[in-house]
Copies of this chain bind each other. A is one copy, B any other.
Amino acid sequence: MSAVSVGPFPRPAVAVDLVILTVVDTDLKVLLITRGLPPQERSWALPGGFVRVGEGGTGGESLEAAAARELAEETGLGEGAVFLEQLYTYGAPDRDPRGRVISVAWYALVPSDRVTQVVAGSDAAAARWFSLGGGSLPPLAFDHAQILGDAVRRVQGKIDYAPVAFRLVPEQFTVPELRAVYEAVKGTDYDAANFRRRFRRMVEDGLIVPAPGKRPAEVGRPARVWRWAEG
């Protein structure tokens, strides 16, 4: 009775799609998979899947749990290891040729030192990191190009006022590494001296603390190592 009381109207399918981002060297990258099934078989797409709902239309997993589950299946990265935040919900009636599919999109930020273990743990037929910018992205299935663009704009905006850059570097990082993340995300160069000043204020505010050791450089003077102070 309880499930029936929301009415006998037709219901859409509800999916989650993931924009999984990282920065390697000076490049912002996104993890894409090749679809193994129709429709749009063999075209590149964002990883995702349907939200699990209990029999009778009650219970099941939360949206965040569905996103975290897909993320773990796709990357092998466990809960809490990466930043995961809801982006936007896409529901145009014709966005999926199979019928009415509403997609709750999420974006994830993967630290650069975990990128190597990601593709290995993937259970997709094929998963690959693609650089954004430079026009090297393949055509994407459904409305995934739109979703990807929205995710990138969200991170670009958020990096200026929220501590998201730290989710893209290893736990221990140097100032030039952090600056490279900003430059990759925003697509512009930052003056090294001015960036350091902003960074120094974060140190003074206790947001960042020194970590032991220095980073041996391939060439030039080694950099000091730092660590984000919060959990």
A residues contacting B by CB (< 8 A) are 2-3, 5-7, 9-14, 38, 50-64, 86, 88-94, 96-102, 104
B-side contacts of A88, CB under 8 Å: 86
Q: Is the interface of A mostly helix, strand, loop or mixed?
A: loop
**Once the chains bind, are B100 and A63 in contact (CB under 8 Å)?**
no
Instruction: Kindly state the separation between the CA atoms of A38 and B11 in the bound complex, as whole angstroms.
Output: 21
Instruction: Kindly state the separation between the CA atoms of A100 and B56 in the bound complex, as whole angstroms.
Output: 9
**Which of B38, B56, B93 contacts A60, CB < 8 Å?**
B93
Q: A86-B88, A91-B62 are in contact. Are A2 and B98 (CB under 8 A)?
A: yes
**Which of B60, B89, B92, B99 contacts A57, CB < 8 Å?**
B99
**Once the chains bind, are B56 and A99 in contact (CB under 8 Å)?**
yes
Give the nearest-CB partner of A64 in chain B: B91
**Which of B6, B61, B99 contacts A2, CB < 8 Å?**
B99
| 4 closest Cβ pairs, A-B complex | A63-B91, A3-B99, A11-B11, A10-B53
> Can you list 21 pairs linking A and B with CB atoms under 8 Å apart?
A2-B97, A2-B98, A2-B99, A3-B98, A3-B99, A5-B98, A6-B98, A6-B99, A10-B53, A10-B60, A11-B13, A12-B51, A12-B57, A12-B60, A14-B91, A51-B91, A51-B102, A59-B93, A59-B94, A63-B90, A86-B89
**Once the chains bind, are B52 and A6 in contact (CB under 8 Å)?**
no
B-side contacts of A102, CB under 8 Å: 14, 51, 63, 102, 104
**Which of B51, B58, B64, B91 contacts A104, CB < 8 Å?**
B91
Instruction: Kindly state the separation between the CA atoms of A3 and B12 in the bound complex, as whole angstroms.
Output: 10
Instruction: Kindly state the separation between the CA atoms of A92 and B54 in the bound complex, as whole angstroms.
Output: 13
Instruction: Kindly state the separation between the CA atoms of A37 and B50 in the bound complex, as whole angstroms.
Output: 31
Write the nearest CB–CB distance from A114 to chain B, whole angstroms. Answer: 27
Which of A53, A60, A86 has the largest count of B CB atoms less than 10 A from its CB? A53
Instruction: Kindly state the separation between the CA atoms of A102 and B6 in the bound complex, as whole angstroms.
Output: 12
Q: A12-B53, A13-B11 are in contact. Are A58 and B100 (CB under 8 A)?
A: yes
- 17 additional contacts, CB 8 Å, given A58-B99, A64-B91? A3-B100, A7-B13, A9-B13, A9-B52, A9-B53, A11-B11, A11-B12, A11-B13, A11-B14, A14-B102, A51-B102, A54-B93, A59-B93, A60-B93, A62-B91, A62-B92, A63-B89
